[in-house]
Amino acid sequence: MEESKYNATVVGKILLTPDIMTLRVDTDEPRDAFSAGQYTLVGLYGKEGRSINSSEETDPVEPDKFIQRPYSIASTTEQVQQFEFYISQVKSGQLTPRLFNLNPGDRLFVSKRIVGVFKLADTPDNQDIVMIATGTGLAPYLSFLRSYLTDRPNSKMSVIQGAAKQWDLGYYSELSFLDSSFENFTYIPTLPEADQTWSGYKLWIDDLLKQDVLMKETGIEVDPDNTHFFLCGNPKMVEGVSNWLKDKGYSRHTRKEPGALHIEEFYS
């Protein structure tokens, strides 16, 4: 077994719920400069223990198998040796139960390559930005805001975050603080299954957009010439919102064909 694959150390772990966590790691060596919204590979060997809150693996792995998956970086681009990841546990999965079993001081693998085209840097400074997320699809937007919010005073920016219950709103405090601190940023959480203690929106994201909540709350127009949309999270949400935006004249952004609709697809 090639133990030398491990090149990073866990320095912080916060369980936001039993199945959602923030994981902070220090890499042994700095990484090259990267753009907010990009991702890297994180990995562990099959020999590592699984969390007590996991279930039996659907597809068991051998102890010497190296398991790696892509995760968006949530931390600022100013940090090239300290990285933060926002991770949801797939209880019967191969990697996430092992990641959830890690504690400060434990070792893991973080790729030296940071890649991806889901980048705020690809949008003009004076255009508005709407970031829509469910679950841990919020991660790249945290890097967007931590890296670029103060540098884009002429852009109106908004995060629309959908979740089932209040405790599923990871980073609620940070996003609420940014909302109250920056005139050009608006945070719109929506909880379709919330109880009576929740005073915010209880709409599905598709319905929230169709009811023109975005314009009412932020003044941002749904116009591909002025506003870029970023989508990351549940595939059904991404599909539904994408179809709605395409009816409004949006086209998907690719390396070869620039567009105002940006989609990250490796989230489940």
The Cβ of residue 264 has, within 10 Å, a number of other Cβ atoms equal to: 22
CB 89 within 8 A of CB 97: yes
pLDDT of res. 255? 87
Residue whose pair of structure tokens reads 């697809």 in the numeric block:
265
Q: What integer pLDDT is reported at residue 185 of this predicted model?
A: 98
Which pLDDT belongs to residue 122?
84
d(CA 192, CA 62): 41
120-264: same fold as 3-110? no
**Residue 38: pLDDT over 50:** yes
pLDDT in tens, 143-172: 999 999 999 999 999 999 999 889 899 999
Q: What one-letter code names the amino acid at 20?
A: I
pLDDT tens digits for range 94-135:
999 999 999 999 999 999 999 999 999 889 989 999 999 999
Are residues 141 and 157 in contact, defined by beta-carbon separation less than 8 angstroms? no
Question: What is the overall mean pLDDT for the chain?
Answer: 94
Pick the CATH number of 120-264 from 3.40.50.80, 3.40.50.10320, 2.30.40.10, 3.40.50.10140: 3.40.50.80
Average pLDDT score over residue span 76-100: 97
pLDDT score at 268 = 42
Contacts (Cβ under 8 Å, ≥6 apart) of 197 = 166
- β-strand partners of 107: 9
Express each pLDDT in 167-187 by its tens digit.
899 999 999 999 999 999 999
CATH 2.40.30.10 holds for 3-110: yes
For the chain, domain boundaries: 3-110, 120-264
